[in-house]
Amino acid sequence: MNTQFAIRNSQFAIPVGVFDSGVGGLSVAREIMTLLPAQPIIYLADQAHAPYGQRPLAEIRTLSEGIARFLLAEGAGVIVIACNTASAAALHGLREQFPAVPFVGMEPAVKPAVEHTRSCHVGVIATAATFQGELFASLLDRYAGRVAIHTQICPELVPLVEAGELDSAGARSAVQRYLAPLLLAGIDQLVLGCTHYPFLRPLIEEIAGADVAVIDPAPAVARQAGRVLAQQGWLVEDAASPAHQFYTTGDPTRFQVALRDLLDVTTDVRQATWQQDNRLLPVR
């Protein structure tokens, strides 16, 4: 990573804005915290509208625009769309609306899966909205080639993760049911196409078996965020612990518990509320 433009004092750092419909984006935030331990993060969970995967693309675009304006108003410089559904629906539009703002989006890791498959069968699990977006179609056009891409919509997984059910009987049953047709097709690569799914990774790997490689794009997204920060001159080298901020449009207490359980982070969570004009404002 190019750090020639890095700044040293986190006191003057420009935060990375990260958003998702809920706790799933914390899997991306976790990777950013690991790779860039001195960089402050402002995280917004739009739990009032979760899950995004079952909402119309036009609505997701409107919500994403409101969240982007919120994160910029709170001081974010780079914005990471830590949601495959929102990236598929809104990334291109956000870049057009905010041309001066660097956006880092999510995309299913089809390219590395295709590069490493031996069976020529790759599985992708995601939401319906992710598969409907132009981004996924573009990935298939660019990388699939002669490899068969088998897709599976998994509507039950996001609510399970939001509820903290990572190894319950219900979670196990759902994962088994969703993976069954992919395993029957002979996949040897499984792409996690939703940021909630990495929190189910131990269960997914157990059910998929040792012959199936599970691919999480979050580390690559964190690396890209680091590159963008370095290019902008906003990368922090200071070893001091940054002051992360967490907001939710849902229940702050519930999100606080999720932070503790999923990231082992104990901190305050603030409320943000949607206005009738689609603005998102913090509760002061």
Q: Give backbone dihedrals phi and psi of 113, rounded to 5 degrees, phi first.
A: -65, -45
Q: Does residue 83 have an active-site annotation? A: yes
Nearest to 127 by CA among 41, 28, 60: 60
Instruction: Tell me the three state secondary structure of residue 103.
Output: strand
Q: Does residue 154 have an active-site annotation? A: no
Question: Which is the catalytic residue, given 194, 203, 215, 229?
Answer: 194
State both tokens at 224: 């890209």
Distance CA 27, CA 262 (A): 8
Describe the strand order of the beta sheet including 148-153 as a list of residue ranges: 148-153, 121-126, 189-192, 213-215
State both tokens at 147: 């490899």
Instruction: Tell me the three state secondary structure of residue 206.
Output: helix
Distance CA 283, CA 255 (A): 16
How many residues are listed for the chain in this entry?
284
Instruction: Tell me the three state secondary structure of residue 140.
Output: helix
For residue 29, the number of C-alpha atoms closer than 13 Å in the C-beta half-sphere is: 28
262 conformational bin, left if phi > 0, alpha if psi -120 to 50, beta if neither: alpha
Do you find a cis peptide bond into 37, omega within 30 degrees of 0? no
Question: Which is the catalytic residue, given 83, 175, 269, 272?
Answer: 83
Active site residues per annotation: 83, 194
